[in-house]
Chain A
Amino acid sequence: MKETVGITALVPPELIYACGKRPMDVNNLVPESSLSPGSKLCAWTAIWRDMILNGGLDIDSLVVVAGGDCHNALVDGQKVELNGMSTHYFFYPFDRDTDYLRSQLEKLTRFLGGIKDEKMFSLISDLKSKGRALDELRVNDRARASDVFSALISFSDLCRNPDVFEKTLNNVPETDVEYSSRIALIGVPPIYPDFHETAESFGLHVVYDELPYEFLRLGGSDLDSLARSYSEYSFAGSIKNRVELIKDELQRRRVDGVIHYTQFACHHTLEDEIFREYLDYPILTVQGDLPRPSSEQLKLRLEAFSEMLEVMP
């Protein structure tokens, strides 16, 4: 049985597989959790922390993405480490410095025991091509956003088994989608497990999920190409680059409105004003805290946003 490596945010999964381990994105278990952590800022990190501390996650080691993206993870990761978990800290550069990222990837490779199976790079690259095709399918109204999101969000760890995951990708149903407005969902993914289904029930077709698209967009076949590609991970770098990337995607995907999901006590929440200033689209900002089915407050906002895009001039 391969060792399981927990990851707290995007860590190149192709490298983990190439090192003979299997990644588990600890966030993917959070939306279905009923835990209410006592000590928390962001519920995402607090819940995976408590899951690990309580022995509820079957992992052998943990890679904490502590530089770039999620800052709360740095502290919660150390709590896990102090409890005895083998833990490694991974830092993205803010300035896209590929040499720096390469050195981080080298350290990570050493922590993972070295590269043992190089063919995993091409295997995962092929799966990401399939993922991009699936993404285009929903852009062209040929797949439900909820089905596509479920598949794309899993590209951070490929469901711990690329063979099984490929079958999941192949089984995403192709169907004509009817809707009233095309939506981009930016920010960290919603902690609500039924967000996309709820949006669909109000005629909102999500044609862009910002973070899962990063999982598909980035990749590589060795440490050099991984460093070049992942240094452009938009959540870790300058927001100017992120805004430009988002703008391109909004235009390409013919979006009518933007939903910015923010997580309570997450520093990304502070980016809302920047998006409102630089994205020339109607924007709805919603905030979640604990993972629960969509609340009536959220439904009211989604319904009103849908009406606003459809009814108002």
Chain B
Amino acid sequence: MNIGLDVGSTTAKVVHMEDSEVIFSKVVPSHRWIELINDGQDDRNIVSTGYFRKRVPRFAAITEITTASLGARYHDPDVQVIVDIGGQDTKVIDLRSNTFVINDKCSAGTGAFLELAAHYFDIPVGSLGELHSRATKGAQINNTCGVFAISEMISQLVGGFSMEEVIYGLHQAFAMRIAQMVPPANTVMLIGGTVQNTGIVDSVKNVLDSKIEVPGAPQLVNALGAALYMERLDDSG
């Protein structure tokens, strides 16, 4: 069995693979990552990734850039560009040229930006997609700075827009920020926990001309890639 362990800034994920098939997976808050490792489990079949990759038991540690590349290709061997929207950063990987960019300098376009908005409305971040779907129009949010976007959001509420319309507008602003990082491509795969928010996926589809793919469990793609890397190490002896 090959194990991929992704301990990120917000959640920890594990994927167990056998013969290139996923046989088990689990997600817990990051600080509870230890629950993903069985007592006495041999760490010689674990590849770790994520922010805490070098702080957990492992045979090898690799970055999320490599795991995302391997995991996304498992879902679609022809995918050209990956957008990994994490809790604290966003990574865009162009598999055609082996290049990547990471936005980790501002919160706009990261899960932290959405958490800020959800916190303001005092709603679970998981409900943003549902609220987005209820809006028939969006409030205009121009700012790509997370802090100023919240100020603008409040102004739009004062101006009479509903919470749903403001959330729709925030998702559009979020998608515009992401789009600035994405090169022209036929296929773009969105991965990461934030992609479970259907409002984000809809907004990215609105602003990019590419075919947008979302794998079944987008938050597990890096753990999957880590398990595939372990498989590769196993095969090479």
From A276, A300, A312, give the contact of B98 (CB < 8 A): A312
Residues of A within 8 A of B65 (CB): 304, 307-308
Check: A164 CB closer than 8 A to any chain B CB.
no
For A283, the closest partner residue in chain B by CB is B99
Residues of A within 8 A of B100 (CB): 284, 304-305, 308
From A276, A283, A285, A307, give the contact of B66 (CB < 8 A): A307
Contact with A along B64-106 (1 / 0, CB 8 A): 1110010000000000000000000000000101111110110
Residues of B within 8 A of A282 (CB): 97-99
User: With the chains together, A309 CA to B100 CA distance in Å?
Assistant: 12
24 contacts between A and B (CB under 8 A): A257-B98, A282-B97, A282-B98, A283-B99, A284-B100, A285-B101, A297-B102, A297-B105, A301-B102, A304-B63, A304-B64, A304-B65, A307-B62, A307-B63, A307-B66, A308-B65, A308-B66, A308-B69, A308-B98, A311-B62, A311-B66, A311-B229, A312-B69, A312-B95
CB distance from B226 to the nearest CB of A (A): 12
From B63, B69, B95, B105, give the contact of A300 (CB < 8 A): B63
Known: A285-B101, A300-B63. 5 other contacts (CB 8 A): A257-B98, A282-B99, A284-B99, A303-B63, A308-B65
User: With the chains together, A312 CA to B69 CA distance in Å?
Assistant: 8
User: With the chains together, A303 CA to B60 CA distance in Å?
Assistant: 13
Q: Which of A283, A284, A303 has the most CB of B within 10 A?
A: A303
User: With the chains together, A257 CA to B99 CA distance in Å?
Assistant: 10
Residues of B within 8 A of A307 (CB): 62-63, 65-66
Residues of A within 8 A of B64 (CB): 304
The answer to whether A304 touches B66, judged by C-beta atoms less than 8 angstroms apart, is yes
Residues of B within 8 A of A283 (CB): 97, 99
Residues of A within 8 A of B97 (CB): 282-283
Name the 10 nearest CB pairs between A and B, nearest first.
A304-B65, A304-B63, A282-B98, A307-B66, A308-B98, A303-B63, A297-B104, A311-B66, A312-B98, A282-B99
User: With the chains together, A209 CA to B66 CA distance in Å?
Assistant: 27
For A313, the closest partner residue in chain B by CB is B98
Interface residue SS majority, chain B: mixed
Number of interface residues of A (CB under 8 A): 17
**Could you list which residues of chain A lie within 8 angstroms of chain B, going by C-beta atoms?**
257, 276, 282-285, 297, 300-301, 303-305, 307-309, 311-312
For A301, the closest partner residue in chain B by CB is B102
CB distance from A288 to the nearest CB of B (A): 12
Residues of A within 8 A of B63 (CB): 300, 303-304, 307
Residues of A within 8 A of B102 (CB): 297, 300-301
How many cross-chain pairs have Cβ atoms below 8 Å apart between A and B? 40
Residues of A within 8 A of B69 (CB): 308, 312
User: With the chains together, A307 CA to B62 CA distance in Å?
Assistant: 8
The answer to whether B66 touches A309, judged by C-beta atoms less than 8 angstroms apart, is no
User: With the chains together, A25 CA to B100 CA distance in Å?
Assistant: 34
CB distance from B227 to the nearest CB of A (A): 15
The answer to whether B99 touches A312, judged by C-beta atoms less than 8 angstroms apart, is no
CB distance from A181 to the nearest CB of B (A): 11
User: With the chains together, A311 CA to B225 CA distance in Å?
Assistant: 12
Residues of B within 8 A of A301 (CB): 102
CB distance from A299 to the nearest CB of B (A): 10
User: With the chains together, A285 CA to B66 CA distance in Å?
Assistant: 17
For B105, the closest partner residue in chain A by CB is A297
Residues of A within 8 A of B101 (CB): 285
Residues of B within 8 A of A284 (CB): 99-100
User: With the chains together, A307 CA to B69 CA distance in Å?
Assistant: 11
Residues of B within 8 A of A303 (CB): 63
CB distance from A99 to the nearest CB of B (A): 42
User: With the chains together, A303 CA to B69 CA distance in Å?
Assistant: 15
User: With the chains together, A284 CA to B100 CA distance in Å?
Assistant: 7
User: With the chains together, A300 CA to B50 CA distance in Å?
Assistant: 10
User: With the chains together, A257 CA to B104 CA distance in Å?
Assistant: 23
The answer to whether B104 touches A312, judged by C-beta atoms less than 8 angstroms apart, is no
Residues of A within 8 A of B66 (CB): 304, 307-308, 311-312
User: With the chains together, A304 CA to B229 CA distance in Å?
Assistant: 14
Residues of A within 8 A of B95 (CB): 312
CB distance from B18 to the nearest CB of A (A): 22
User: With the chains together, A309 CA to B65 CA distance in Å?
Assistant: 11
User: With the chains together, A304 CA to B97 CA distance in Å?
Assistant: 14
- CB proximity to A under 8 Å, residues B41-67: 62-66
CB distance from B72 to the nearest CB of A (A): 12
Residues of B within 8 A of A285 (CB): 101
Residues of A within 8 A of B98 (CB): 257, 282, 308-309, 312
For A276, the closest partner residue in chain B by CB is B99
Contact with A along B101-120 (1 / 0, CB 8 A): 11011000000000000000
CB distance from B231 to the nearest CB of A (A): 13
User: With the chains together, A312 CA to B66 CA distance in Å?
Assistant: 8
User: With the chains together, A303 CA to B53 CA distance in Å?
Assistant: 12
